[in-house]
Structure 1
Amino acid sequence: MPSSCKDIRAALAECLQNSDCILVDRNKPSDCLRPPLVDTLPTRCQQLKKGYGDCKRGMIDMRKRFRGNKPVAVSTELEAGADEPSHQLYAGKPAFSSAVRRTSGNDEAEVEKSLGR
């Protein structure tokens, strides 16, 4: 569980390294994360900072003690944009498929057809 926030932490560090606060103004990353410089960060970095704080807070939340934090997909869904978003929280196959079967509304007649009556 201590490694559940490592992806979002790496994304935050990369965003900070590419921000004007560090590249142009030559501030330390720790200074850029504190007020008043935190307001100069790009919106994406501010969102990652909030997400990282929520992730760290979730590590000590007793309601999430056994399940752990939700996995964070930082690279594929945020940057490149996934073709199909992943709604799956845990490993394994999804419980429901995205294909919906159309029915006529008369379930008894369809059951009888499938049984051959």
Structure 2
Amino acid sequence: MPSSCKDIRAALAQCLQNSDCVLIDRNTPADCIRPPLKDTLPTQCLQLIHGYGQCKRGMVDMRKRFRGNQPISTSVELEGEKGKMLYAGKGTYEGLDEQQQKRMKEGDEYEAFTRNDGIEDLRKKS
């Protein structure tokens, strides 16, 4: 159980090492986490700080004592890898040529939206 936060801790350390606070301003990562400089960190680092705090808090939470912390599943998101489908559905554009796709986009009964995996798709208007 003590090693349940090691992945998010390593991701946080990597994010802090690549931030402008450490690279350009030459501050230590410990100084960058504290309030005056914390506002200059990227959003990803701030989210990792919050997640690491939640993980450490979960280690002493009696409700999670037997099951432990849930493993983090953000490694794919942290690496910026896209194209993975979060569901087994088939996209609207699959199997259509460009002219048919353009016609569907211009139609009144469909609207364009961005799926969870970052790909633009169409859905019927409700």
TM-score over 0.5 for the alignment? yes
SS in 2 for 1:51: helix
Q: Distance in 2 between matches of 1:19 and 1:8?
A: 16
> Once superposed, which parts of structure 1, at least 4 consecutive aligned residues long, lie more than 6 Å away?
none
Q: How far is 1:76 from its partner?
A: 1.5
Identity of aligned residues (%): 68
Larger Rg: 1
Q: How far is 1:82 from its partner?
A: 6.6
Give the TM-score taking structure 1 as reference length.
Answer: 0.69
- Which residue pairs with 2:66 in the alignment? 66
Q: Distance in 1 between matches of 2:60 and 2:47?
A: 21
Q: Distance in 1 between matches of 2:5 and 2:53?
A: 9
SS in 2 for 1:40: coil
More strand by share: 2
Gaps of at least 5 residues in structure 2 are 90-126
Verify: 1:43 aligned to 2:10, yes or no: no
Whether the 8 Å contact between 1:20 and 1:41 is mirrored in structure 2 is yes
Whether the 8 Å contact between 1:8 and 1:51 is mirrored in structure 2 is yes
SS in 1 for 2:71: coil
Gaps of at least 5 residues in structure 1 are 87-97, 100-117
1:96-115 Cα deviation digits (max 9, x unpaired):
xx79xxxxxxxxxxxxxxxx
Q: How many equivalent residue pairs? A: 88
- Which residue pairs with 1:19 in the alignment? 19
Verify: 1:83 aligned to 2:93, yes or no: no
1:51-62 matches, cutoff 5 A? 51-62=51-62
RCO comparison, higher one (Cα < 8 Å, 6+)? 1
SS in 1 for 2:56: helix
Q: Distance in 2 between matches of 1:31 and 1:76?
A: 28
Change (3 A) 1:85 1:68: farther
Which one-letter code corresponds to 1:83 in the other structure? K
